[in-house]
Structure 1
Amino acid sequence: MWKHYKFDTQSINLSCHTDEKFNHFDTLLHCEWDRALAQGYFSYNMDHNIKKRILDGDLHYVIELNPSRFEKRRMPHPFEHVNTPFDRSKFNFNKIKDEEILFVLDDEQQTDKNLVIINNSPIRLYQVLLVPNRQLEQSQILTIDCLLFGLRFVASSAYPFIYIGFNSLCGYASINHLHLHGIYMPNRLYIQTIKCSPFHINSNCYLFDLFDVQGFAFEIKHVGEFDTIARHIHTVTNYLVSSDIAHNMTIMKGDSFSSSLEPVICIFVWFRQSTKGAKTFHQWNIGCLELSGYTFLQYEELLNDSTELKLRQSINEIALSSEEQKKIKEDVKNLLNQ
């Protein structure tokens, strides 16, 4: 059977400015990832000397070249609604081989619940997928358990640029089986040091309005807040699902929205226009990565031609109308007040 890592509340580091790179958690993940690679469970090998650009501009967008991801990945499934029933006839994570499971991140009560597995078409080196409660066959809708899994994953790693991402259906999710993306980012991303304005202080909720695409941002200062903030985030995402509003989420270590000195875990939930039907690949498709400050491209000429202005214009194109955004913010504030 696969290996286990017990979540340890005493050994977490929330700083995104630390020089520490890896601890036992990271070493386990890297060793098991290398083992799966050596055993041939990936669709392609990743180049350790991948081409990268950091774009000029205020946000210092990180762009990398990964043509294999476009050429050799599974075909994404088309979706018409954010809430689409699980279909066991389609690819799902109950169909993977046991060897594709790297380890289990245990919580205090249960084992074999939170699987860390390979993405056989990785976005970059050591990218993984987090699959909670695999046997429940949950569709791609965030649950409190899934949010806690993501928070514990980020807190367990010593790496300052560890990343968790989620795309809803119609928000560029490819598979309708609940999962998160876990990525070792090559650089600090702008969202780790951004300041957001207060939105609902009692919920540690702030407003992200850097782009026309807006979002809610939460911060966690210590592990004792995990359960409470996860429930607040779930209140937001559950509302978006019930309203058939596509959304993307990111979890990273960062600076407090209200104090540059205090390390926190930052969680962003963006609401946006739906992308329905079969996915088509443009210069970049706007999902959780692109909203967070990172993207990968298929062609070197696109890499060389990219600018922050072009990326921000693409992001702004998926914004909901100002009337829709106003209603979402009013509804969410009322829900958080309850």
Structure 2
Amino acid sequence: MWKHFKFNPDSINLSCRTDVQFNEFDRLLQFEWNRALAQGLFTFQIDNQIKQRVLDGDLHYIVELNPSRFEKRRMPYAFEHVNTPFDSNKFNFNKISEQEILFALDDEQQTDKHLVIINNSPIRYYHVLLVPDRQREQTQILTIDSLLFAFRFVLSSAHPFIYVGFNSLCGFASINHLHLHGLYMPDRIFLQTVKCSPFHPETNCYLHTLFDAEAVAFEIKHIEELDRIVRCIHKVTSYLAASSVAHNLSIVKGDSFSDFSQPALRIFVWFRQPNIGAKPVDRCNLACLEMSGYVFLRYEEVFHDISETELREKINTLALPLKEQQKIKDDIKTLLDQEI
């Protein structure tokens, strides 16, 4: 049976500006990930000296070259709808081996509730998947419980650049079994410090308008706010899923939107044009990581010549029509009014 880690709300650190790198949680994650690596459970041998560059520009995009991620991973499924029934005949996380489970982020009475497992085709070292309640065969639609799991994962780590992301179906999710991605960013990304404008202050909600494809952004400055803000975020993501709107979510430590001198947990939810069907890779795909300031690439020539300007232009093409985008924002405000 795998190990367990119990979340401790008294030992969290929200800062993205600390020199502290690892604690007991991080050491457990890395020890178990390295154990899986030694057991040969990954589809390729990831290079710890992976090629990396930081793009010129205001956002300092971090770009890494990882062709094996594209060439040797399991073929992603093609989805036509954000809401797609679970198909037990396709790959899902009930088909993995026990060795692929690193640990559970819960107490020992919940042996299969919040599992942290390997991604067997990792984006970078210590890339993991967060799989909540896998036996329930939940589709790729966020639940309150999965959001709490994601927040506790980030809050348990001492690392300033710990990251959790989620892609909906048609938002570049490749498997229709509820999961989120967890990894250490190689450095601070712009999402941790970017300024956002007030949108619904009563629920700690802001608007991220750096790209034409906008996002609502929430902040949590105190652990006491966690449950309330999770309910607000879940209302937003449930509305998007029910409205068949593709979306991406990112969770990072960063500066408070309302007071840059104070640390906070930042949560971004983008609503975007859907990616329908197969996922062709030309220069780069655009999912939660790419929206956040980090890009991994397949082709060396793209790695050398991609620019921040190109990335901005590509992300801008994901914007929904202005009328539709405005309706989504109006509907979100109405939903958040119910939480006041």
Range into which the TM-score falls when normalised by the shorter chain: over 0.9
Q: How does 1:1-338 map to 2 (within 5 A)?
A: 1-106=1-106, 110-338=110-338
The one-letter code sitting in structure 2 at the alignment partner of 1:193 is T
Say which SS state the counterpart of residue 286 (structure 1) adopts. coil
Identity across the alignment (%): 67
TM-fit CA distance, 1:268: 0.1
Say which SS state the counterpart of residue 106 (structure 1) adopts. coil
Structure 1 Cα separation of the partners of residues 264 and 117 of structure 2 = 26
TM-fit CA distance, 1:202: 1.1
Structure 1 Cα separation of the partners of residues 126 and 109 of structure 2 = 28
Deviations 1:244-300 (A, max 9, x none): 000000000000011111110000000000111111112111100010000101122
TM-fit CA distance, 1:232: 0.2
TM-fit CA distance, 1:224: 1.5
* Unaligned runs of at least 5 residues, structure 1: none
TM-fit CA distance, 1:111: 4.5
Say which SS state the counterpart of residue 264 (structure 2) adopts. strand
The one-letter code sitting in structure 1 at the alignment partner of 2:43 is S
Deviations 1:39-90 (A, max 9, x none): 0100011111111010000100000000100100000001111011111000
Is the Cα contact below 8 Å between 1:195 and 1:258 reproduced in 2? Answer: no
Is the Cα contact below 8 Å between 1:140 and 1:168 reproduced in 2? Answer: yes
TM-fit CA distance, 1:112: 3.0
Structure 2 Cα separation of the partners of residues 320 and 51 of structure 1 = 34
Aligned residues: 338
Is the Cα contact below 8 Å between 2:252 and 2:265 reproduced in 1? Answer: yes
The one-letter code sitting in structure 2 at the alignment partner of 1:33 is W
Cα gap change, 1:108 to 1:238, in 2 (>3 Å): farther
Say which SS state the counterpart of residue 259 (structure 2) adopts. coil
Say which SS state the counterpart of residue 86 (structure 1) adopts. coil
Cα gap change, 1:264 to 1:111, in 2 (>3 Å): farther
Is the Cα contact below 8 Å between 2:128 and 2:183 reproduced in 1? Answer: yes
Structure 1 Cα separation of the partners of residues 263 and 46 of structure 2 = 32
Structure 1 Cα separation of the partners of residues 200 and 122 of structure 2 = 37
Structure 1 Cα separation of the partners of residues 108 and 155 of structure 2 = 15
TM-fit CA distance, 1:169: 0.1
Structure 1 Cα separation of the partners of residues 107 and 211 of structure 2 = 36
Cα gap change, 1:200 to 1:109, in 2 (>3 Å): farther
Is the Cα contact below 8 Å between 2:7 and 2:156 reproduced in 1? Answer: yes
Structure 2 Cα separation of the partners of residues 123 and 29 of structure 1 = 16
TM-fit CA distance, 1:108: 10
Say which SS state the counterpart of residue 244 (structure 1) adopts. coil
Structure 1 Cα separation of the partners of residues 108 and 187 of structure 2 = 32
TM-score, with length taken from structure 2 = 0.98
The one-letter code sitting in structure 2 at the alignment partner of 1:275 is N
TM-score, with length taken from structure 1 = 0.99
Q: What RMSD, in angstroms, separates the aligned Cα atoms of the two structures?
A: 1.0
The one-letter code sitting in structure 1 at the alignment partner of 2:13 is N
TM-fit CA distance, 1:308: 0.1
Deviations 1:186-227 (A, max 9, x none): 010001001110111111110111100001000001212111
Structure 2 Cα separation of the partners of residues 99 and 216 of structure 1 = 38
Structure 2 Cα separation of the partners of residues 82 and 337 of structure 1 = 26
Structure 1 Cα separation of the partners of residues 333 and 173 of structure 2 = 27
Structure 1 Cα separation of the partners of residues 135 and 97 of structure 2 = 14
Is the Cα contact below 8 Å between 1:117 and 1:131 reproduced in 2? Answer: yes
Cα gap change, 1:39 to 1:108, in 2 (>3 Å): closer
Is the Cα contact below 8 Å between 1:80 and 1:277 reproduced in 2? Answer: yes
Structure 1 segments, 4+ long, off by >2 Å, are 107-112
Structure 1 Cα separation of the partners of residues 192 and 185 of structure 2 = 12
TM-fit CA distance, 1:109: 8.0
Structure 2 Cα separation of the partners of residues 109 and 205 of structure 1 = 35
Structure 1 Cα separation of the partners of residues 123 and 207 of structure 2 = 29
Say which SS state the counterpart of residue 260 (structure 1) adopts. coil
Structure 1 Cα separation of the partners of residues 333 and 218 of structure 2 = 13
The one-letter code sitting in structure 1 at the alignment partner of 2:92 is N
* Unaligned runs of at least 5 residues, structure 2: none
Structure 1 Cα separation of the partners of residues 111 and 11 of structure 2 = 20
Comparing 129-138 with 293-302, which one deviates more in the overlay? 293-302
